[in-house]
Amino acid sequence: MRGVFLLVGLAIAFLVYKAGASFLPRWWAQLVGDQVNGSFSAGTMWGLFYGFLFTCIPVLVLFQVRRSFLKIRGRLAVIVLALMLAAPNWLTLFVVLGSTNAAHAGERILDVEAPAFRWATFFGALGGLLIAVALSGTSIWLKHRRHQVRGLKNQMKNDREERDNARDDNAS
C-alpha cells in the first residue's frame, strides 16, 4: 500500500513540477519586471533586496536544524520551511538556468524589464549567505564560550570549597 502512495505522490510531484516549469519562470520575470519597470537602479536595488533577504533568512532558519529538541519531523519541517522561504531566489535561478520555453521567455523579460536584477540578486544572495554564516558561527562560538565560562566558574567554586575545607581541617 505504501508503494502505491509513493507512486501516486511521485506522479503528482512530477505533474506539479511540469506545470510549474512551464508557468512560474515567465510569471516571476513578469512580476519582477513590473516592479523594476526597466530602471537599472531599481533592478539593482530589488535584486540586492531579494537576493540578500531570501538567502539570509532561509539560511538562519536552516541553521535551527541543529537544535537538539527537534525530532526528525521537526527537522524536516524546518528544512521545508527554509526551502520555501528561499522561493524568490529559486524562481530567479529557474529563470536564469532553466532550459524550458518559459525560462527563456523569463530571461528576455528580465533583460528588457529588469536590467541588472539577475546579477544584483546573485551578489545579494552572496552577501546574505556570508552574513547568515557569520551570525550562525558567532552563535556557536558564543555558546561554546558560555559553556567554558560556566565550567571555569564551577572549577573556581570547587577550588574555593576545597581550600575552605582544608583551612577548616587545619584549624581543628
Q: Is the pLDDT of residue 170 over 80?
A: no
Q: What confidence tens digit (pLDDT) does each residue in 81-114 have?
A: 999 999 999 999 999 998 889 999 999 999 999 9
Flag whether pLDDT at 4 surpasses 90: no
The mean predicted confidence, pLDDT, of the chain is 92
CB-neighbour burial class of residue 42 (10 A; exposed 0-12, middle 13-18, buried 19+) = middle
| Measured distance CA(65)–CA(63) in Å, rounded | 5
Is the confidence at residue 172, as pLDDT, over 70?
Answer: no
Give the pLDDT confidence of 122-147 residue by residue, as tens digits: 999 999 999 999 999 999 999 999 99
Report the number of secondary-structure helices (H) and strands (E) in the chain: 6, 0
Q: Which residue has the cell 544572495?
A: 125
Q: Which class for 86: exposed (0-12), middle (13-18), buried (19 or more C-beta within 10 A)?
A: buried
**Cα(first)–Cα(last) distance of the chain, in Å?**
79
Nearest to 117 by CA among 37, 56, 55, 48: 48
**Rounded CA gap, 145 and 127, in Å?**
27
* DSSP code string of 10-53: HHHHHHHHHHHHHHHHHHHHHHHHHHHTT-HHHHHHHHHHHHHH
